[in-house]
Amino acid sequence: MMRKALKRSFILFPVLSFVVIFLLWDGITRYSDWSHQVFPGPMVVMQSALDLAQDSSLLKHSVASLYRVTVGFYLAVMLGIPLGILLGRMTVAKSLINPLIQFLRPISPLAWIPLAMLWFGIGDQPAIFLIFLASFFPLVVATAVAVESINPMYFQVAANFNFSRIEVITKIVVPAIIPEVVTAIRLTVAIAWLVVVAAEMIAVQSGLGYLIVDARNALRMDNVMVGMITIGLIGLLLDIIMIRVTSVDYLKWAKAKK
Amino acid sequence: MGHVKIENLTKEYVNRRSVKRQPGDAARPGEIMRVLDNVNLEFQDGEMVCVLGASGCGKSSMLRIIAGFDTPSSGRVLIDGKEVKGPSADHIFVFQHNGLLPWMTVWQNVELGVRHISDEQEKRHMVFEFLDMVELTGFENHYPNQLSGGMQRRAELARALVVNPDMLFMDEPFTGLDYLTQLRIREEVVNIHSYIGKTMIMVTHFIEDAVIMADRIIVMGDRPTKVKAVYEMKFERPRNLETNKELAEIRDDIFLKLGVSYAV
């Protein structure tokens, strides 16, 4: 019974809400004065999506966007998490670097676009740089906070068992922060995905953001909508993947904690 | 290997509370609070020592200083004639709340104490021996949150014992356990103590546990925090408060010293 109810609320209800939106959208386009050029209906958009999929440009743009997100995000993880650990563990490092991070953090990555284009030219690099910026600061801050909130008792256990500095990191700090950091990664992927589209609207000639801008210039609102829907779908997919990652087996220990 | 001498130990804290803990509390924010006032004690090698006192009397602070997790404001602690400078794997601390590392299985936790042994066979053997001693075989691959409170305590004991420490410190090891589990762990600790014969210092607020378990009972007073009484407990085991009048008298005496009368 329980299982059935769960299945219903997890699959049936979301599908239902999409169907309702679809019908509303269709109704508005049929019974409003807007032309199909300004407000294309769902059938038109689906046809355009099929056309874009057939000449594989939709796939090409999606891959281009995902590639940039992947590279920029990996860079942010590789640099941000170690820096976060350092900030969380060393008071000196924190008072040196933290003010700088808190100063740079509220500057929208989009404000960096002019400089990014000047420094890296046109192509993948400026977009990757912007994604890196967008993901780096949240990761650093979340990691530092996670490290600071580790129960001090575990460090006393470490001292009692004569842990070396490296052991304190590998056996205490890293495992202790994994649950929080995984959550931060999940949230940050969503931010990175937001930013890549914005970056592609300006700095590059490929990707889903470029697809939208290009369609707008050609006054193809149906293709604009295809771009938006694709972005939404991939974002949804990324989130589902991230949830899968967060529920892997090595986090079994943290399940009953909170 | 486990002789402890505490000389003129005093510990003061600056009160960081912004509000008074209780209406009668003397310490104001920023004021210096003395939690240990000129404590002098000596424990013999192999003794089971129980430290009793009201909560907040500084008994845990004293244990933490002996274990090297905290430093005295003045005075010193000597273990086998050497001054304590910091924590050491020779003296293992069993924490008040579960001190197992939650991201490691029971086996991995216990293995921490013998992780430097290169002979895998010997290491496995030792871990198994102590898990067997606390009756946790079959739970090697469980994470701490999958164990009951009593099992967590036993796993922590195994982790402490596998190191073969000179001394064991326990900060309220029975807190948070149900009554029967408490009695079971108590029996286990007494058995382990008579088996390994190491010095054990236990902070507790269960007076009856202290009377049953201890070779020496320290009663700490509250404000000023000095040693109020020391009892040497040379009684045969097993001890039973119901049948041994002398034990019952000591219990009543301790209750009185702590300002509560046992018989109402």
Extract the tokens encoding A52: 């874009």
Please give the residue of chain B at the shortest CA–CA distance from A151.
Answer: B99
pLDDT at A258: 39
What is the DSSP annotation of A189-234?
HHHHHHHHHHHHHHH-SSSHHHHHHHHHHTT-HHHHHHHHHHHHHH
Which residues from B are below 8 Å from A180, CB to CB?
none
Q: Is the bond preceding B29 in cis, omega lying within 30 degrees of 0? A: no
Instruction: State whether residue B101 sits within 8 Å of chain A by CB.
Output: yes
Instruction: State whether residue A154 sits within 8 Å of chain B by CB.
Output: yes
Q: In what order do the strands lie in the sheet with B216-220?
A: B91-94, B167-171, B199-203, B48-53, B216-220, B227-232
Question: Do the chains contact at A153 and B95, CB–CB below 8 Å?
Answer: yes
What is the pTM for the complete model shown? Answer: 0.83
- Mean predicted confidence (pLDDT) in A126-155: 93
pLDDT digits (tens, 9 = 90+) for A101-134: 999 999 988 899 889 889 988 888 999 999 999 9
Which residues from B are below 8 Å from A254, CB to CB?
102-103
User: Residue A76's closest CA among A14, A153, A137?
Assistant: A137
Question: Do the chains contact at A254 and B95, CB–CB below 8 Å?
Answer: no
pLDDT at B99: 87
pLDDT at A100: 92
Extract the tokens encoding A254: 């943290």
Which residues from A are below 8 Å from B103, CB to CB?
175-176, 178, 253-254
- Tell me the helix, strand and coil percentages in chain B, rounded to 5: 35, 25, 45
pLDDT at A257: 45
pLDDT at A133: 93
Higher pLDDT pick, B205 / A79: A79
To the nearest 10 degrees (0 to 180), the angle between helices A174-203 and A57-89 is: 140
Spatial CB neighbours of A234, under 8 Å, sequence gap ≥ 6: A62, A65, A66, A193, A208
pLDDT at B23: 57
Q: What's the complex ipTM? A: 0.86
Question: Do the chains contact at A159 and B144, CB–CB below 8 Å?
Answer: no
Instruction: State whether residue A255 sits within 8 Å of chain B by CB.
Output: yes
Measure B30 CA to nearest chain A CA, in Å: 23
Q: Where are the domains of chain B?
A: 1-84+169-174+200-208+215-264
Domains of chain A: 41-257 (1.10.3720.10)
How many residues are given for chain A?
Answer: 258
Question: Do the chains contact at A172 and B87, CB–CB below 8 Å?
Answer: no
Instruction: State whether residue B53 sits within 8 Å of chain A by CB.
Output: no
Share the mean pLDDT of chain A.
88
Instruction: State whether residue B107 sits within 8 Å of chain A by CB.
Output: no
Question: Do the chains contact at A159 and B163, CB–CB below 8 Å?
Answer: no
- Interface size A-B, in CB pairs within 8 Å, comes to 54
Alpha-carbon gap, residue A214 to B155, rounded angstroms: 64
Q: B interface mutation test: which of A149, A153, A156, A160 has the most B CBs within 10 A?
A: A160
pLDDT digits (tens, 9 = 90+) for A183-195: 899 899 999 998 8
Cβ-nearest to B143 among A161, A172, A253: A253
Spatial CB neighbours of A209, under 8 Å, sequence gap ≥ 6: A65, A196, A197, A198, A199, A200, A201, A227
- Mean predicted confidence (pLDDT) in A29-55: 87
What is the pLDDT confidence band of residue A77, given thresholds at 50, 70 and 90? very high
Alpha-carbon gap, residue B111 to B114, rounded angstroms: 5
pLDDT at A2: 59
Question: Do the chains contact at B112 and A161, CB–CB below 8 Å?
Answer: yes
Question: Do the chains contact at A162 and B145, CB–CB below 8 Å?
Answer: no
What is the pLDDT confidence band of residue A197, given thresholds at 50, 70 and 90? confident
B223 neighbors B71 (Cβ within 8 angstroms): no
Instruction: State whether residue B88 sits within 8 Å of chain A by CB.
Output: yes
* pLDDT-above-90 percentage for chain A: 54
The H-or-E segment that residue A121 falls in is: none
Question: Do the chains contact at A159 and B69, CB–CB below 8 Å?
Answer: yes
Alpha-carbon gap, residue A28 to A42, rounded angstroms: 10
Determine the CATH number of domain B1-84+169-174+200-208+215-264: 3.40.50.300
pLDDT digits (tens, 9 = 90+) for A198-250: 888 877 888 999 999 999 999 899 999 999 999 999 999 998 888 887 776 66
Instruction: State whether residue A157 sits within 8 Å of chain B by CB.
Output: yes
Q: Supply the DSSP symbol for B12.
A: E
Question: Do the chains contact at B102 and A257, CB–CB below 8 Å?
Answer: yes
> A25 — phi, psi (to 5°)?
-55, -50
Alpha-carbon gap, residue A74 to A87, rounded angstroms: 20
End-to-end CA distance of chain B: 44
Alpha-carbon gap, residue B220 to B226, rounded angstroms: 6
Question: What parts of chain B have a pLDDT lower than 50?
Answer: none
